Each structure stands twice: as structure tokens, then as C-alpha cells.
Structure 1
């Protein structure tokens, strides 16, 4: 007969194990969702798919647990398999994407496997508790501990796991956690353990620790396949994956594996974005830039000597930090972030506009493409209404608007959205918009929209010295659209509709999927 103290100790361990495996299970789900949004785009769609598939698989696992005759043995095997599948999910998916170019099938296969195994855990633990005769056992206690573990995981993932581990190492660390649970369970229930379980556990644990030890090398191998050039900086922040590559004097920035600029041609993009608005603005003392954490747009703004202040709002503090402090990267923006006229605010653009009370002469919107609903909201009537409230009576604002060639309907949806946004100077009317485009080799044809509550000036632009691309003639030509880029019907983007994300994804998928 098992002593009561031993029963209580093992029961306490099983409840603690429930807490730990709940953390690991949700971390795997979040890793899968984040990886799918990194590699497949459209974070809202991917998170929804991952959550739905994972929960369905958990339900299937809970049902399948009834067919497991030996509850303890089934629990240990579930932990070992979770440690292997969940632990190596991150490295496998990154390397598979780098070598094979696709990730959907292995990602969802791993997710279903992890979901089934996770769904089996609670029923099996409950049966083990009953078998050992745990006093005061109640099934709701197990569920309560499980839910608390899920809460801890959801808080730890953005605050601790991603900033300090990254996705690949995090996957291995929490695989090791499942294996540690299996190992301690085998020790505490050694009279129920089998030699096969112990041997397989030892091999799996050793393999996981070796992989974790070499995780940086695995990251380097994956990134060497993903990117053409040498990776000089690679970090995961709570907001995105930052990668900077270099080949000789050529530097490129990638956020979530999407290119943001190439130092060979970024001048074409940033000169086209900044100078029409700056040149045509009646006054340009106070400038607001939303996005543009690389500092390139700030560099162009500072070419005008009458600029008194520049406020840059970018969500990710790590991006602005490296482009301020990294010696090579700060050279690209000519040390713009160290200019005393420049203030950097790391905050969501929408929240900033809601609390800000300043009035700006020019607002430059250099935000990521609207490939998800979270980004699409920054291209809505409601958002532009907030922007224009912070604009002076004759002020100008300009936004990057994607490709009028690859995502034609998305581009003209941005134009339509601006033209139907609230005009505080002329109630009942929309804003005045001038669409234009520029060829940027890294992106192809790229579009912008210059906007004002009043009529946009039509005079020639007077440009500062030192530009490499933009001229008055180029500016006038940029306002002409060929037949395959000219205006087509598109609905305005609103918080209710979010049509822009669909237009954007459909356009790019047509060309590149």
C-alpha cells in the first residue's frame, strides 16, 4: 500500500505538471501562429486558423484519450512526443521554409499533432490522480491549474519569450520543458515506468539539449538560405522579426521577412515619399512622421533648413534604436536620429494621434503595407480623420500606398478612402488627393497619395540640393498612370469593412503565388 504522504507528493507533482504543460502547450500554439504570420502573411487570418485547428485537435485528443489503457504510460508518451514535435517545430519549419520555400503543410501537421497530444494530457492526468487515490481530488482543480498556466504563457510570450529567446530557441526550450515533466514523472512513478520509456526519453532529452546548444547555428543556417546576403543583425522583438543583411556596401532591411529597403535604391522611394509634400507645403516648421523607423524619411525632411521640429512615431523601439546607435545603419540616415530637432516616440500611431494635441504642417505616413487587419486599420477613413485633425489649415499629408501595378485595386482603395474621409475644413466634403507613383527596383512600381483639406498646389516643386532621383519633370510624370495602373473601382477602407487587406492580398497572390 502506498503511504498517504507519497500519494500527496505525487498528486502535488501532477498538478504542478498540469501547470507546466499548459504553459508549454499555449507557447507552441503562439509559436505556430507567429511563424505562420511571419512566413505566410495576414496575421489575423493565420492566428484564426491556428487557434481553430489547435482547439479542434485538442478536442480530438481528449476524445482519443479514452482508448489509452494505461493512463500513466499514455501521459509520459504524450510528454515525450510533445517535447520532440513541439520542441523541434520551430527549427524544422524555419529550415523547411528556407530550403523548400513552403511551410503550410508541415506547420498544420505539427499543429494538429501537438493539439491532439495536448488534448490528451488533462484526461490522462485526471485518471492517474484517481488511480493513486489522491485525497480531495477534484477534476475542476486540474482545469483551474491548466487555465492559470495558459494565462502565464500568454503574458510571458510577448514580454519574455520572444525578446529573450526568439522563436527557434523558444520552441526547443519548451520542448525541453515537456521532456523534463516526462523525466520527473518517470522518476516519481518509477515502479510504473518501463525501460523503453526511459531510453527514448533520454535520447529525446539529449537531442533537444544539443539542438538548443546549437540553436544559434541553426538560425544562421536558416537565414543563410532565406537571405541572399550576409545577415549582420537578426532579432525578434515583441512586434516583429528584424533582419539586416549586407553584401559589400549594399544593406537591406527585412521586417517579418519582407523587404523594407535596399540601400541601392531606397533614395527613389524616400525622395518620392517626402519631397513633393515638403516642397509644396506653404509652411514646414513642424513635421510629423508615422512609421519610418529606419530614419530615411527623417533624413530627407532635414534637407529643408526651415524645419524646426520633426516628431517620428514608430511602434518598435528596437528599430529606432539600432538606426540611431548602430554605426553602419546610422550612416544610412546620415545620423538623422541624433539631430536635436528630432523627437522619437515609440507608440502605436493611432494611440499617439488620439492623445496628441500638436498641429503639424506636413504629415508623412510611412507605415507597413496593409497585409493584415491590424495594419489595415491605419489605412481607414477613421485613421485618416485623426491624422487630418492634427494638420494645419493648409497642411499636406502623404502616405505610401503600395503598388498600383501588383496590387492595383488596393492602391486605388487608399485613394478612394482619402477622398471620402472627413474634411474638417469643409464639412460634408472629402479630402483632396493627388495619387502618384515611382519605380523602385526592389519593389517595382510604387504608389503614394498626396492629400490636403484644401486643394493640393499644382506649381512646380522646388527641391533641395543633393537628391539623386527626383526632379520637377519626374514629379509631373509621376502623376500619370498607364492603362494597366490607371484608376479602377474600389471601395473605401473602413474599420467595419477592411476591404483593403483583401484587395492587397489578392493582388500580390495573383502575381506571386
Structure 2
């Protein structure tokens, strides 16, 4: 018979362990969902699949737990295995992606293992509590503690875990947590466990701690495999993974693994994004840039002598900080983010447009591609209608619109969505649009759309000096689309439909999967 005090200690520990394993289990699920979104694309699809697969696997684990003969040893082994599989989930996925390119099967296999093991935990803990004769044992008390742990994990993941640890270290840290639970359980139930789990636990715990200590090196190894050139900067922010690579005098910026610019050809993209709208607008004194935290678009805007004020709105403060304060990066944008005419605001573009009362002569939308619902909403008729309300009567909006070649339907959906936006100057008329494109070697054929409440001139009055690509002759050619990238019937993108997201994903999958 277990002494009362010892039984009480075990009971308290098992409830505490329930909380800890609930936290780590949900953290693994969120890490897997974030990894699949980063590495496989389409965050909505991946998050949905990860949640479904994880919950199903937990159900399988709960069912399998009945076949575990000795609950205490079974619980210890689940914690050891979770510490290994869950702890090395992110490191294995990143390294495998860098070397193999496709990690879908591996990632979901590891997710299912984590789910099965997590599903076994609560039934095993409940059985142990009964075995030790916990007074007034109620299964719902265990579930309540489990749900509280899940809430803590859900709140901590975006606010604390990712900003301070990143995916790689977080995976290893919570693997160490599961192993710590196993270690304490081994000690408290030492009369019921043999030597084998203690030896395996010691090896696993040492390996996990070594991985955690060397996590930055693991990140470097993974990113060296992911990127062709030397990684000179790699940071995880609450919003995204920032990676900067360099080869000789060639610098590239990646956000969540997707290239944002390559200094060998970024001028083509940014000159075509900025200058047509700036020179075609009757007045371009007050300019708004949404996105463009690297300062490249701001650099081009400031070439125009009539510019009095530039407001740049970018969600991630770390991006604008790096490209303003880091000398090598600030040099790329000609120190545009330090120009006294430039005001930087780090907030959501939609929230900014809803709240701002200012009117702008030119609005430049340099946002990431609409590869998920959160980004697709910034390409909707509703958002464009808000932009038009903040536009001067004779002002212009220009947005990057993706590739008319690789995602043809998506490109023309952006154009049609702009055309369908509410026109505050001529109610019911929609906006006037002008589509054009340019070849950027880093991206391929890339397109843009200009929109205005009134007419849009098609010929340049003049261009600023020092441009490396854009000319009047090039502008005329940019408005011509070949038959395989020409307009076609597509749906308008709205908050309700998000037709653009499906067009975008299907288009890129058609070419690259």
C-alpha cells in the first residue's frame, strides 16, 4: 500500500503533468501546421489538414492505450518517444526539405506519430490516478486541466514561443519538456519502472539538450541546404521568417522561404511598380506605400522631385528596422527609410486604411502574393473600395498582381477586382484599370495593375533620370499581352468568395508541382 503522502505527491504531479503534456502537444500541432504552411504552401489547407490529421491520430492513440498493460511504464514511454519525435519535428523537417525538396510524407508521418502518442497520454494518466487510489478521482478534472493547458499553449505560441524561440528551438525545447516529465515520473514511480527506460531516457534527454544548445547551428545547416548562397541574416519574427543571403555583391531577401528581391534584377520590378503611377498621376506629392518594408519602392518614389510625404505601412517592424538601420541593407534602398519625408507605420494594411483620414495622390500596393486567406483579403473588392476612398479624385492606385504567365487567372482576377471596386467619384462606374507586365528573371513574367476613379493616361509625360530599365518605348510594350497571358473570364475576389486564392494556388501548382 502506497503511503498517503506519497500518493498525494503522485496525484498532484500527474495533474501537473497533464497540464504540461497538453501544452507541449498543442505546441507540436502548431509547429507542424506552421511548418507545413512554410514548406508546402497554402496555410488554410495545411492548417486544416494538420488539425484533422492530429485529432484523428489522437483518437487512434486513445483507442490504442487500452492495450498498454502497465499504465505507468506506458506513460513514461510515451513521454520519451514524444520528446524524441516531437522535439526533432522541426529540425528533421527543415533539413529534409533542404536536401530532398519534398517533405510532405515525412512531416505528416511524424505528425501522426506525435498525435498517436499525445492521444495515449490522458487515458494512461487517468488509469494511473485510479491505481494510486486518488481520492475523489473524476475523469473530468483531468480533462479540465488538459483544456487549460491547450489554452495556454494557443496563447503562448504566437506571443512568446515563436518570437523568442523560433520553430527549431521551440520544437527541441518542448521535446525537452516531455522528457523532463518522463524523468520526474521515472523518479516518482521508481518502484514500478525498470532500468531500460531510464537508460533510454538519459540518452534521449542528452540528445535533445544537445540539439537545443546547437539549435542555431542546426538552423544554419538547414538554411544552407535551403538557399543557394551564404545566409548572412536569419531571424524569426512573430510574423514571418526573415532570411538574407549573399553571393559576392548579390543580395537576396526571403520571407518565409519565398524570394522578395534579388539585387541583380530588383530594379526591373520596382521601377515598373512605382514610376508608371507616379508619372501618370496629375499630382504625386503625398504617396502611400502598403508593404515594401525593404524600402526599395520608397527609394523609387523619392526619385520624383514633387514628393512631399511618403507613408509606408508594413506589418513587421523588424523588416523596416533592418532595412533602415543595417548599413549594408539600408544601402540597397539608398537609405530611403531614413529620409525625413518618409513616415513608417508598422501595422496591418487593412486596419490602417480603415482608420486613416488622410487622402493620398498615389497609393502603391507592394504586398506579398495572395497565397493564403489573410493575404487574399488585401486583394478583395472590399479592400480596394477602401483604398479608393482614401485616394484623391484624380489619384492612382497601383498594385503588384502576380504573374500573368504562371498564374494567369489570378492576375486577371486582380484586374477585374480593381475594376469592380466602388468608385467614390463616379458611383456605380467602378474603377478604370490599366494592366501591364515585365520580365524579372528572379520571378519570371510579372504583372501590375493601375486603377483610378477617372481616366488613366497611357503615355508618359516624362521619367526621372537614372532609371536602369523603364523607358517610354518599354512602357508601350509592357501593355501588350501575348495570347497565352491575355485577359480571360474570371471571378471578382471578395471577402466571401476568395476566388483569387484558388486561382493563385492552382496556377502555381500547374507549373511547379
TM-score by length of 2: 0.99
Q: Distance in 2 between matches of 1:459 and 1:258?
A: 34
Question: 1:135 & 1:425 partners in 2: Cα distance?
Answer: 74
Q: Is 1:114 aligned with 2:120?
A: no
2: CA distance, partners of 1:399 / 1:352: 17
Instruction: Note if 1:32 corresponds to 2:32.
Output: yes
Answer yes or no: is the 8 Å Cα contact 1:360–1:390 preserved in 2.
yes
By how many angstroms is 1:210 displaced? Answer: 1.4
1:64 CA displacement: 1.2
Using the alignment, how far apart are the partners of 2:126 and 2:461 within structure 1? 74
Listed one character per residue, the Cα deviations across residues 93-152 of structure 1 (whole Å, up to 9, x for unaligned) are: 111111111110011101111011101101110110010011132211111111111111
1:243-284 per-position Cα deviation (integer Å, ceiling 9, x unaligned): 000011100000110100000100000000000000011111
Query: CA–CA distance in 2 between the matches of 1:277 and 1:461?
Result: 12
Q: Does the CA contact (< 8 Å) of 2:241 and 2:255 recur in 1? A: yes
Kindly indicate whether the alpha-carbon contact (under 8 Å) linking 1:461 and 1:472 is maintained by their aligned counterparts in 2.
no
CA separation of 1:438 and 1:461: change in aligned 2, threshold 3 A = farther
Q: Runs (4+) of structure 1 moved beyond 2 Å?
A: 458-461
Instruction: Summarize the alignment of residues 64-143 of structure 1 with structure 2, pairs less than 5 Å apart.
Output: 64-143=64-143
Partner of 1:490: 490
TM-aligned CA deviation for residue 217 of structure 1: 1.4
SS of match in other structure, 2:86: helix
Between the aligned partners of 1:105 and 1:20, the Cα distance in structure 2 is: 28
Instruction: Give the Cα–Cα distance (whole angstroms) in 2 for the partners of residues 297 and 460 of structure 1.
Output: 19
* Contact 1:365–1:399 under 8 Å retained in 2: yes
1:68-467 correspondence to structure 2 within 5 Å: 68-467=68-467
Contact 1:290 1:312 in 2 (8 A): yes
CA distance in 2 between counterparts of 1:197 and 1:379 reads 55
- How much does 1:489 deviate? 1.3
How far apart in 2 are the matches of 1:62 and 1:352? 47
In the aligned structure 2, how far is the partner of 1:147 from the partner of 1:312?
Answer: 41
CA contact (8 A) 2:276 2:460 kept: no
Please state how far the C-alpha of 1:458 moved relative to its aligned partner. Answer: 2.5
Q: For the Cα contact (< 8 Å) 1:44–1:374, is it kept in 2?
A: no
SS of the aligned residue for 1:350 comes to helix
- 3-state SS, counterpart of residue 428 of structure 2: coil
Q: What SS class does the counterpart of residue 87 from structure 1 fall into?
A: coil
Indicate conservation of the 8 Å contact 1:288/1:362, yes or no: yes
| Separation (CA, whole Å) in 1 of partners of 2:215 and 2:398 | 43
Residue in structure 2 matched with residue 60 of structure 1 by the alignment: 60
For 1:186 and 1:31, locate their aligned partners in 2 and report how far apart those are by CA, in whole Å.
28
Q: Let me know the Cα RMSD of the aligned residues.
A: 0.8
Query: Alpha-carbon deviation of 1:459?
Result: 3.2
Q: How much does 1:350 deviate?
A: 0.5
CA contact (8 A) 1:276 1:461 kept: no
CA distance, structure 1, for counterparts of residue 492 and residue 356 of structure 2:
26
Identify unmatched segments of 5+ residues in structure 1: none
Q: What do residues 266-317 of structure 1 show as CA deviations (whole Å, max 9, x unaligned)?
A: 0000000000000011111111000001000000001112111111111111
Secondary structure of 1:495 counterpart: coil
Q: Deviations over 1:48-106 (max 9, x none)?
A: 11011111111111111111111111111100010000001111111111111111001
Unaligned runs of 5+ in 2: none
2:21 maps to which residue? 21
Give the structure-1-normalised TM-score. Answer: 0.99
